[in-house]
């Protein structure tokens, strides 16, 4: 399939010439692949388009435009994108398909060859999507509009909407770290953020939607404080941000998403320990428990620092939940070095793992590292850590049986069970009651279920209400 590449400056000129007067009531449907940050940005794109008169429908409904926000971290980005495109065209074969996100920035030409794709937008262009849709009526070949990621010169606000119990609020974008396995800096550009004042005002807007919990998300949120074009650091930092959010935003809960161990300072940990709004829950990427592998990965810390962070959290918040990211099968990782990771994680007082199997990424330094770990071995190491994760999670849950914790209840009704999460991120379930949705109530945790949650009962005062 042929594709048409339009430099951004030229495309704006072309659009001003061919744009139709209005496209009100055209239907859009959106689909998100990947992380919480992607979910927040998909919601932002939806708001941009609805403000322009487009009508948002479910992805399973018939729409005029299907917008797919992609991820570069997943091993099968190409396969996943093709599957979602195919599903959209099955619903409406005449629809226009638009691909945005990290995968779109990294491999626009590859995506443009997927059957049915009409438009591919890069990182600089996705928040201007409304300026590009109209030209699709005149185009027969796929259009790529993607600038150089090094020239990204703005920060776009975004937050998720729809779930209503919680919202993912983007506070930072991009990354300056260039770990040897990662393409995120190539897909999202330099680390950048908006001012504390602006971020607090946006958080107030999110709180006003009625959500009970705001999750702070980004690519490297601990690096908060770079200018919006990522060229220099301001006096703002993540610690100052969370202090101002606590003080000025009327919402019951804040939760911090993944934060690098070298940026998770003692003052941040101590602040959360004394906070009435920030939840005792940390997700801290480790990636490897071997110092040699951490150096090959170009990480900014060694295992001793990581151990100190976990110990500090548990010293001031024994009940805190700690999640850990680990990559297995990284080039050069021997069986002995994998066992270093396994034993290190096993000895840490952590609550669960997110285990990733290493997969090769174009234009990363890891491609030059040898020897390569055979794929079957990578999968076996992944399986071992996932089993360990289940043991850690069950142990953490069991430690809280017979205790009482506040739970934010979600809309899910699974065979008569209402689910929610405690402040320290334990999934709890109680007999379903309609009025419990989007409320925070004190629940007694009674028994760890075999289905990944803790069975609970309402606190006595609620039972008698």
Q: What mean pLDDT do residues 118-145 have?
A: 88
- How far is 450 from 156, CA to CA, in rounded Å? 42
pLDDT band for position 13 (cuts 50, 70, 90): very low
Question: Which of 108 and 163 is assigned the larger pLDDT?
Answer: 108
pLDDT at residue 24, rounded to an integer = 62
Cis peptide bond N-terminal to 262, omega within 30: no
| Residue 214 confidence (pLDDT) above 80 | yes
H or E segment to which residue 428 belongs: strand 427-431
The β-bridge partners of 407 are: 422, 441
Domain 404-463 indexed as CATH 3.30.565.10:
no
Q: What mean pLDDT do residues 121-130 have?
A: 91
Q: Do 240 and 222 form a contact (C-beta atoms < 8 A)?
A: no
pLDDT in tens, 33-76: 988 899 999 999 999 999 999 999 999 999 999 999 998 876 67
pLDDT at residue 148, rounded to an integer = 87
- How far is 137 from 151, CA to CA, in rounded Å? 29
Domain 152-279 indexed as CATH 3.10.180.10:
no
pTM of the complete model: 0.90
pLDDT at residue 1, rounded to an integer = 36
Q: Do 29 and 66 form a contact (C-beta atoms < 8 A)?
A: yes
Q: Do 49 and 130 form a contact (C-beta atoms < 8 A)?
A: yes
| Residue 317 confidence (pLDDT) above 70 | yes
User: Could you give the C-alpha distances from 267 to 106, 191, 275, 374, 389, in angstroms and in order?
Assistant: 37, 22, 12, 42, 28
pLDDT band for position 164 (cuts 50, 70, 90): confident
**Domain ranges (residues) in the chain:** 4-147, 152-279, 404-463
pLDDT at residue 270, rounded to an integer = 98
* Average pLDDT along the chain: 90
Q: What is the DSSP letter of 182?
A: -
- Angle, CA of 175, 128 and 72, to the nearest 5°: 40
pLDDT at residue 412, rounded to an integer = 76
Contacts of 178 (CB under 8 A, 6+ apart): 185, 298, 365
The β-bridge partners of 401 are: none
| Residue 7 confidence (pLDDT) above 50 | no
| Residue 464 confidence (pLDDT) above 60 | no
Task: Provide the 10 A C-beta neighbour count for residue 343.
Answer: 11
| Residue 205 confidence (pLDDT) above 80 | yes
**Environment class of 253 (CB within 10 Å of its CB; exposed 0-12, middle 13-18, buried 19+):** buried
Q: Could you give phi then psi for residue 447, rounded to 5 degrees?
A: -160, 135
| Residue 330 confidence (pLDDT) above 80 | yes
Q: Where are the alpha helices (DSSP H) in 275-334?
A: 291-297, 303-316
* CATH number for the domain formed by residue range(s) 4-147: 3.40.50.2300
| Residue 4 confidence (pLDDT) above 50 | no
pLDDT in tens, 260-301: 999 999 999 999 999 999 999 999 999 999 999 999 999 999
pLDDT at residue 152, rounded to an integer = 83
């Amino acid at each position: 399939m042929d594709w048409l590449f339009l430099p951004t400056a030229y495309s704006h000129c072309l659009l001003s010439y061919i744009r139709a007067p209005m496209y009100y009531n055209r239907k859009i449907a959106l689909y998100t692949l990947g992380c919480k940050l992607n979910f927040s940005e998909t919601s932002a794109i939806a708001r941009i388009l609805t403000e322009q008169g487009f009508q948002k429908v479910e992805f399973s409904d018939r729409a005029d435009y299907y917008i797919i926000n992609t991820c570069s971290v997943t091993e099968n980005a190409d396969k996943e994108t093709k599957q979602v495109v195919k599903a959209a065209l099955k619903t409406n074969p005449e629809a226009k398909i638009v691909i945005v996100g990290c995968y779109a920035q990294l491999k626009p030409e590859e995506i443009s060859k997927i059957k049915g794709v009409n438009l591919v937008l890069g990182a600089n262009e996705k928040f201007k999507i409304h300026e590009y849709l109209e030209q699709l009526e005149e185009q027969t070949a796929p259009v790529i509009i993607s600038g150089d990621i090094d020239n990204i010169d703005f920060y776009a606000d975004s937050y998720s909407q729809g779930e209503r119990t919680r919202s993912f609020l983007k506070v930072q974008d991009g990354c300056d770290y260039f770990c040897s396995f990662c393409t995120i800096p190539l897909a999202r550009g330099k680390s950048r953020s908006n001012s504390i004042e602006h971020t607090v005002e946006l958080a107030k807007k999110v709180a006003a939607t009625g959500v009970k919990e705001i999750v702070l998300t980004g690519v490297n949120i601990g690096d908060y404080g770079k200018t919006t074009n990522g060229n220099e650091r301001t006096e703002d930092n993540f610690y100052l941000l969370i202090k101002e959010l606590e003080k000025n935003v009327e919402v019951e809960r804040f939760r911090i998403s993944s934060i690098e161990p070298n940026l998770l300072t003692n003052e941040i940990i101590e602040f959360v320990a004394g906070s009435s709004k920030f939840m005792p829950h940390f997700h801290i990427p480790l990636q490897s428990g071997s110092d040699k592998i951490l150096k090959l990965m170009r990480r900014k810390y060694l295992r001793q620092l990581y151990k100190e962070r976990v110990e500090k959290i548990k010293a001031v918040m024994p009940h805190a939940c700690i999640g850990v990211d680990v990559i297995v099968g990284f080039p050069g990782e021997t069986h002995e070095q994998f066992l270093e990771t396994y034993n290190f994680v096993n000895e840490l007082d952590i609550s669960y793992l997110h285990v990733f199997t290493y997969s090769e990424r174009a234009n990363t330094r890891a491609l030059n590292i040898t020897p390569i770990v055979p794929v079957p071995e990578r999968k076996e190491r992944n399986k071992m850590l996932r089993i360990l994760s289940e043991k850690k999670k069950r142990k953490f849950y069991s430690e809280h049986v017979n205790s009482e914790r506040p739970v934010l209840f979600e809309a899910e009704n699974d065979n008569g069970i209402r689910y929610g999460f405690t402040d320290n991120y334990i999934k709890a379930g109680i007999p379903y009651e309609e009025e419990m949705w989007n409320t925070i109530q004190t629940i007694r945790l009674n028994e760890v279920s075999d289905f990944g949650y803790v069975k609970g009962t309402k606190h006595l005062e609620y039972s008698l209400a």
